Structure 1
Amino acid sequence: MCRVVDLHQAVLAKNDATAHALRSELAARGTTVVNLLSSPGSGKTALLEGELLLARQRGVPVAALTADLATENDATRLARSGVPVKQVLTDGLCHLEAGMLGRHLEGWLPADTRLLFVENVGNLVCPASYDLGESLRVVLASVTEGEDKPLKYPTAFGLAQLVVVTKTDIAEAVGFDEAAFRAHVEQVNPGVEVLLTSARRGEGTGGLLDRATAVAAGGPVHEPVMARRHHDDHTHEHHSHADHDHDHVRGHHDHHALEHVSAPGRGPHA
């Protein structure tokens, strides 16, 4: 007798278990992961470059892993900070997963790393559903993207533990309405902090590093109202990628989340 199994949820459950194990493993060695999510062109590489340089100046042992579909441009930029940097090419896959991250850290991540910044693939859809074993999830949006961005991508912003606004130096020129943006963030994620930054002017530089350092020291972390196990309505913003080959990264996406299987057959964020 066939039974309908939601493979997408099974994939997320497997990923969450891997993420939990990776978070525990890294915590045991004193490493805290910061997961950065945003749309392409939001300015997260420029912001991260400044934070890494400041961390080095302060003597905080940090490293960065950046993921893209192609090119090593971001890694080249981040390496100018002088900290360990690794580029991951996903070959078309629109997000990182906990197992992928763990494999790329093996034999590379320096043992004394206190903070690991992960620059996820530029995308506010797929990455939002995947826990990487992070202790701080940050979502970035530039002032050019519109005040309603949080409403259009409620999963990404609803699960954020910190929201960063970038390129504030041009906010007036593009007519950015900060009050409206904050109201929309509050609507999907009550109580989350919003940090304003400008990499060009240096405004807000160090804010991300300060919060990441505080989390690494055991400080409080914002707990989003949208629990991970209750976000099915917005998972992947209705684009299921349940049938990825998770052992061999590839660009093909099967949008059928349900499949009939003869064998019996997501846990909350830890």
Structure 2
Amino acid sequence: MQIDLKQPILDKNDRLADELRARFAENHVFVLDLLASPGSGKTSTILATIEALRDEFNIAVIEGDIASSVDAEKIKAQGTAAVQINTGGACHLESAMIKRAVDVLDLERLDLIIIENVGNLVCPTDFDLGESLKAMILSVPEGHDKPLKYPGVFQASEAVVLNKVDTMPMFNFDREAFEDAVRQLNPSAPIFPIAATTGEGVGVWAEWLAERIRHA
């Protein structure tokens, strides 16, 4: 006899995600779920995005990590509300975790919540968090072949941020091959080349996101 536990887990997660999505819609809050590998520059991209959007939108961040509150403290130090989720070993966030984090936020005062998912290019794609959209960050040092190795995350994301483009001369990164692979998997997903730590390209990415928020 074979028992499939995955579907009941996903069904429960998806029901709660639908409840969260309705709650976000009621409060006119846009939710961005950011997916990426460890070290891709998720937090630096979030900080750069906040800096570009903070004059127009009230923003909060939900930080997902296996352990520690390092990233949440970085966000708070810049004057933005942040809630830390420690999964204790789980490789992804789930809607029940997001609900607990959202319960301590004042949704009536927010326009945008950015979720920094656990660094992983596999598991987070399966879990609906009630988000308005998923986007992913890939950094140049990770290599241009990641769409071939992890197609699911590229297919699940509505936008791709290519971070650390300022390091491209130091790595054998074939940008044309990368962009071709992404477009084969997800023809409608825009690709935003940025260097989060220097600000290069962040304005274009932030304006695209702002347009999505305005028209949500």
Partner of residue 43, structure 1: 41
2-side partners of 1:174 and 1:127: how far apart?
27
Aligned: 1:146 with 2:143: yes
Partner of residue 115, structure 1: 112
Q: Is the Cα–Cα contact under 8 Å of residues 136 and 212 in structure 1 kept in the other structure?
A: no
Which structure has more helix as a fraction of its residues? 2
Q: Is the Cα–Cα contact under 8 Å of residues 160 and 192 in structure 1 kept in the other structure?
A: yes
> Where does the alignment leave 5 or more consecutive residues of structure 2 unmatched?
none
2-side partners of 1:209 and 1:102: how far apart?
26
Aligned: 1:176 with 2:162: no
Letter in 1 for 2:25: A
Partner of residue 238, structure 1: none
Partner of residue 19, structure 1: 17
Q: Is the Cα–Cα contact under 8 Å of residues 18 and 98 in structure 1 kept in the other structure?
A: yes
4+ residue runs over 4 A deviation: none
Q: How does 1:223-238 map to 2 (within 5 A)?
A: none
1-side partners of 2:38 and 2:144: how far apart?
17
Aligned: 1:64 with 2:61: yes
Partner of residue 87, structure 1: 84
2-side partners of 1:34 and 1:207: how far apart?
17
Residue-by-residue CA offset, 1:141-160 (whole Å, 9 max, x unaligned): 00011111011111111111
Q: Is the Cα–Cα contact under 8 Å of residues 69 and 84 in structure 2 kept in the other structure?
A: yes
1-side partners of 2:204 and 2:13: how far apart?
30
Residue-by-residue CA offset, 1:175-206 (whole Å, 9 max, x unaligned): 21110000111122122111100012211123
Residue-by-residue CA offset, 1:52-86 (whole Å, 9 max, x unaligned): 12222x24111111111111111111123211111
Equivalent of residue 210 in structure 2, options 209, 213, 230: 213
Residue-by-residue CA offset, 1:212-249 (whole Å, 9 max, x unaligned): 32222226xxxxxxxxxxxxxxxxxxxxxxxxxxxxxx
Partner of residue 125, structure 2: 128
- How far off is 1:110 after superposition? 4.3
1-side partners of 2:157 and 2:182: how far apart?
10
Partner of residue 54, structure 1: 52
2-side partners of 1:159 and 1:64: how far apart?
21
Partner of residue 33, structure 1: 31
2-side partners of 1:207 and 1:133: how far apart?
25
- How far off is 1:50 after superposition? 1.2
2-side partners of 1:127 and 1:20: how far apart?
17
Q: Is the Cα–Cα contact under 8 Å of residues 29 and 107 in structure 2 kept in the other structure?
A: no
2-side partners of 1:35 and 1:208: how far apart?
15
Aligned residues: 216
2-side partners of 1:216 and 1:191: how far apart?
18
Q: How does 1:240-251 map to 2 (within 5 A)?
A: none
> Where does the alignment leave 5 or more consecutive residues of structure 1 unmatched?
220-270
Q: Is the Cα–Cα contact under 8 Å of residues 63 and 109 in structure 1 kept in the other structure?
A: no
Partner of residue 226, structure 1: none
2-side partners of 1:109 and 1:43: how far apart?
27
Aligned: 1:9 with 2:7: yes
Q: Is the Cα–Cα contact under 8 Å of residues 13 and 127 in structure 2 kept in the other structure?
A: yes
Letter in 2 for 1:187: Q
State percent identity of aligned pairs: 38
Letter in 2 for 1:44: K
2-side partners of 1:64 and 1:208: how far apart?
18
Q: Is the Cα–Cα contact under 8 Å of residues 53 and 210 in structure 2 kept in the other structure?
A: no
User: Normalized against structure 1, the TM-score is what?
Assistant: 0.76
